[in-house]
Amino acid sequence: MAAITPSTQNSLAAQYFPDEPARPIVRSAFPGPKSLARLGTLDEVFDTRAAYLVADYEKSVGNYLVDVDGNVFLDLYAQIASIPLGYNNPVLQDAARSNEMIDALVNRPALGNFPSAQWESILRQGILAAAPKGLDQVWTALSGSDANECAYKAAFIYHRQKQRGDRDVDFSDLEKESTLLNSEPGSPDLAILSFERGFHGRLFGSLSTTRSNYVHKVDIPAFKWPRAPFPSLKYPLEHHVEENRREEDASLAAIETILREWRHRIAAAVVEPIQSEGGDNHATPYFFQKLRQLTKKYDVLLIVDEVQTGVAASGKFWAHEHWDLSTPPDIVTFSKKFQAAGYFYGNPELRPNKPFRQFNTWCGDPSKAIIARAIVQEVKAHHLEKRAQHVGDYLYERLSKLQSQYPEKIANLRGKGTGTFLAWDVPGGSEARNKFLKDLKGVGLNVGGCGVNSVRLRPSKY
C-alpha cells in the first residue's frame, strides 16, 4: 500500500464527497433560532433536554453536519462516535437503496424463528468478515446496551452449565419453581465484575456495570456486583513508564483480591479497551495481558466492550488487537460505528444449551447488518484503520504543540498511537469544559465531552 499522506487522504474524501465544504460555516448564534423553535415544538411530544440542535441530514455531507439554521459544523465527534463513514456516504446509500434492503425493511424477520434466506450470507460477508481473531460466531442485538446484556446472559448460562457438568441435563424442579420467584437456585447470585469509571449501557444489567456518572443510575435498582479500580495513568504514557507500571500493578492486585474473595461467584469481567464516556482513560497492553491471565486463573470470562472502540477507530479494526493477547477474549461486544450490534464468541459452550434462552422478537436487524457489511467492505478496501491511525498521529502532533503553548487550556493530552481516540482535560473542571464545548460549536466545531472535565475527538477516517 502506498504511503498515506494528507494529499492522498484528501483525495479519497474527494472521491466520496466532492461537494464537501472546505471549512465550517457559521450563520447564527448557537443554538440557532430555527433549532430553538423546532426543539420547542418537538419537546411537546419528545424530551429534547439533551439535544444540541436540529439537524438537516439531507444537506449534511462527509465530515460536515448541517443544522436547520444553515450552520455547517465540522463534526470531530461523529455524533456520539457513531457515524462510521461520514454523512451521506454514497456506498452506504447504495446499500440502503438495494432490493435486499427493501426486503429486510418491509419484511423485517423475527430472526430467531424465521431467519431469511439471505441472513447467513449477510453475516458471513459482513459482521463475521470482521470478527476478532479466534471468535467465529456472533449473536446480533439491538444496541450497545443490549449487546452487553446478552453477553452477560451468555456468561451466566455458561457458568451454570459448567456447574451442572452436562449441557444436556434438564433443570431441576426446584430451579424451575424458584426462578419464577426470583430466588435461588433458579436465579443464582452470580456477578459481573466491572471497573470504576467504566460505561457499558443504560439497561438494567449493563447499568449495574456502568460506573461513570451518577446521573445514569440514580433511582434505578442495581445488582450488587463488584467494582474494581481501573488504573489512573499519567500522560504521555512513555514519560511515566515506571509509575504507571506501579499503578497498574496495584489495580491488578486489587482485581485479584476481588476475584478470589467476592461473596458470590463472578462469571465474567467486562472492560473497555479505552474507557470512553468515563474520561477516555487508557491502560497499557501489560495491564490487559495480566487481566487476561487473572480471568483464566479464576475461570472468569473476559468480555471486551468494543461498542465505542471498535470498527477501525483506534488504528486497528478492534482496539483490543493492540494488546497482543496470548489467548483472545471470550466475548467481544460491538455497536455504534458498526451500526449493527451484538457480540462475538468462539467457544461453542457459550451457546446456550436450549433454544429461546438467548432470544427476543428481532434478535438484531438484517437492515443494520446490510449496512454493517458495506462498512466492513469499505474499511477493508481502503485500509481505513491505517487512515485512522494517520489522522490520529497528525492531530496528536499538532495538539501536543498546542498543549506546550497553552498548558492552562490543554492538560493530559492522551491517545498517542490509538488512532482517532484523542482526548485532553480542560483545567477548571466541568463548568470550564462545558463552556469550551459550547464555544467550539459557536465557531462550527462539533466536539464531545467525557468524564469530569475531558474533551474527546472521534473524527472520521476519510
User: Catalytic amino acids?
Assistant: 199, 305, 336, 361
Asked if residues 266 and 252 have their Cβ atoms less than 8 Å apart, the reply is no
Q: How far is CA 53 from CA 39, 45, 50, 140, 171, in A?
A: 8, 16, 9, 31, 53
DSSP string, 27-39: -SSSS-HHHHHHH
Asked if residues 412 and 240 have their Cβ atoms less than 8 Å apart, the reply is no
Q: Facing residues of 227 across strands?
A: 194
At residue 170, the 3 state secondary structure works out as coil
Query: Could you tell me which residues come within 8 angstroms of residue 115 by beta carbon, excluding any fewer than 6 positions away?
Result: 109
- CB-based burial label for 400 (10 Å; 0-12, 13-18, 19+): middle
Q: Facing residues of 411 across strands?
A: 425
Asked if residues 286 and 212 have their Cβ atoms less than 8 Å apart, the reply is no
- CB-based burial label for 405 (10 Å; 0-12, 13-18, 19+): exposed
Q: How far is CA 347 from CA 135, 164, 350, in A?
A: 8, 18, 6
At residue 286, the 3 state secondary structure works out as helix
Start-to-end CA span in the chain (Å): 16
Q: Dihedral of CA 168/173/178/180: which sign?
A: positive
DSSP 55: B
Q: Dihedral of CA 106/369/268/287: which sign?
A: negative
Cβ count near 92 (within 10 Å): 19
Asked if residues 234 and 240 have their Cβ atoms less than 8 Å apart, the reply is yes
Residue 167 sits at the vertex; the CA angle it makes with 165 and 170, to the nearest 5 degrees, is: 95
Comparing C-alpha atoms, which of 309, 238, 245, 301 is closest to residue 273? 309
